[in-house]
Amino acid sequence: MRKALYLECYSGISGDMAVAALLDLGADREVLETALSSLPIGGFEVEISRVKKSGLDGCDFNVILDKNHENHDHDMEYLHGQKQHLMIKRNDKWHHPHRININYNYDDDEQRGPLEIFNIINDAHITDNAKEIAKSIFTIIAKAEAKAHGVEINQVHFHEVGAVDSIVDIIAVAVCIDNLGIKEVIVPQLHEGYGFVRCRHGVIPIPVPAVTYIVADNNLNLHITNTEGEMVTPTGAAIVAAIKTSDKLPEKFTIKKIGIGCGKRSYDRPSFLRAMIIEDKSLEEECIYKLESNIDDSTGEALGFVMDKLFEAGARDVHYIPVYMKKNRPAYQINVICKKEDIEKLEQIIFMETTTIGIRRIKMERSVLNREIKTMQTSLGEVQVKECNLELGKRVYPEYSSVVELCKKHNMSYQDVYHLIRKECEKDNILIKNEI
């Protein structure tokens, strides 16, 4: 397994927490500041500093808005307080102050839809990969907001996520992920609070509707804690949905780097996101069993039949070794590799189908690569491969039966099909075992 980013969301996740954690991991601050300075929007400044949460040193990423774009993102009394708050008068109309990431410009032509936000991203001086990550995050939020409000996605106007601070947070996350060269991201679950929170539409339950739709649509694992308050913001949930590649940590791994991104809300637990660059220990130790027996009075046909039955019953491998037994009689030693739970049924097959009266059983330790059977699309069609994780990358072993099937389908030689698969795998920077 290559190095992966592990996000430990025990205190939830928000956009600013994610940016801060990635900066603390080593994302280039100058690259980020250059990218943000290229955005075709104004009304904000960025402050990056060191702060302490429960005595732990961490990074703080703060988007400072001017008075025309100010919001109540970190106003705990407004978010969770009981007292009523004053209305704001804009353009001769009274409005509730918005909750999180609100743009206080209420002119209709200033409300940003998906197209306007994509134009901002496209005009930014960032890599194509960073642009795709940012667009993916915004698209996920757009779909969730559309479901929450019962409208088509092209009718969504982002009051919350169209605001300056959310645009900055999301593009900053995309730039940092790209800068760190992260390809694999592990997020086992999001820890969320409970209760209610105030927003521009009134008081709504936690998790807020946008978060619930993001979790549902993107197969995220959600854990409700006993903390009263909103710990997972829509932006935070969308970031996870866009970049997560797995929700399972490897059984054994080493930690290469740690980053702590501090949040700004105050709950009964420290508000920070811990991010780690981890590396799977590529070799996995496990036990396997070998069953062996010497047979000098069975035909080749009978032994071939036994091999087929053993494979069908779950044997991991079966092979024969020519041996000489007592009185120099030529014979075969049968070797069966299997799991512990398959021993009894495989031994019964050997006893029933051969003339042996005894089987030796050997417990063996082995080291194996983490592997997974996958289907790859090639120019010849689908092919099954066994993908193994090495320290330097992935290695692919084409499945013999799959290669043979393509040979028959296209009337090509095994060599030609095999090398074509290898060539197309190399385009994806995947190592492939040269077996021929």
Q: How far apart are CA 158 and CA 136, in angstroms?
A: 15
Contacts with 46 (C-beta within 8 Å, 6 or more apart), sequence order = 33, 36, 61, 62, 63, 64, 168
What is the enclosing helix (H) or strand (E) of 393? strand 393-398
The first and second tokens of residue 260, run together, are 């702590």
Residue 83 pLDDT exceeds 50: no
**pLDDT tens, residue by residue, 395-407:** 788 888 889 999 9
* Residues 1 and 279: beta-carbon distance below 8 Å: yes
* Residues 33 and 303: beta-carbon distance below 8 Å: no
Contacts with 332 (C-beta within 8 Å, 6 or more apart), sequence order = 294, 295, 296, 298, 303, 320, 321, 322, 323
Predicted structure pTM score: 0.61
Q: Which of 171, 72, 82, 182 is nearest to 130 (CA)?
A: 171
Preceding peptide of 207 cis, ω within 30°: yes
Cα–Cα distance list, 411 to 142, 175, 286, 407, 435 (Å): 48, 47, 41, 5, 21
**Which residue(s) pair with 302 in the sheet?**
none
Q: pLDDT tier at 96 (50, 70, 90 boundaries)?
A: very low
Q: Tell me the one-letter amino acid at 233.
A: T
Residues 377-402 as b or e (16 or more Cβ within 10 Å = b): ebebeebbbebbbeeeebbbebeeeb
Residue 118 pLDDT exceeds 60: yes
Q: How far apart are CA 199 and CA 78, in angstroms?
A: 9
Q: Which of 177, 152, 249, 239 is nearest to 23 (CA)?
A: 177
Q: What is the 3-state secondary structure (H, E, C) of 183-239?
A: CCEECCCEEEEEEEEEECCEEEEECCHHHHHHHHHCCCCEEEEEEECCCECHHHHHH
Task: Give CB contacts under 8 A, 24+ apart, made by 119-124.
Answer: 120/39, 120/40, 120/41, 120/167, 121/171, 123/38, 123/39, 123/40, 124/35, 124/38, 124/39, 124/40, 124/171
Q: Which of 111, 197, 204 is nearest to 159 (CA)?
A: 111
Residue 193 pLDDT exceeds 60: yes
**pLDDT tens, residue by residue, 121-154:** 999 999 999 999 999 999 999 999 889 888 888 7
Q: How far apart are CA 263 and CA 11, in angstroms?
A: 9
- Alpha carbon 162 to chain centroid, angstroms: 26
pLDDT for 348 equals: 95
What percent of the chain has a predicted confidence (pLDDT) above 90? 57
**pLDDT tens, residue by residue, 196-252:** 987 766 788 999 999 999 999 999 999 999 999 999 999 999 999 999 999 999 878
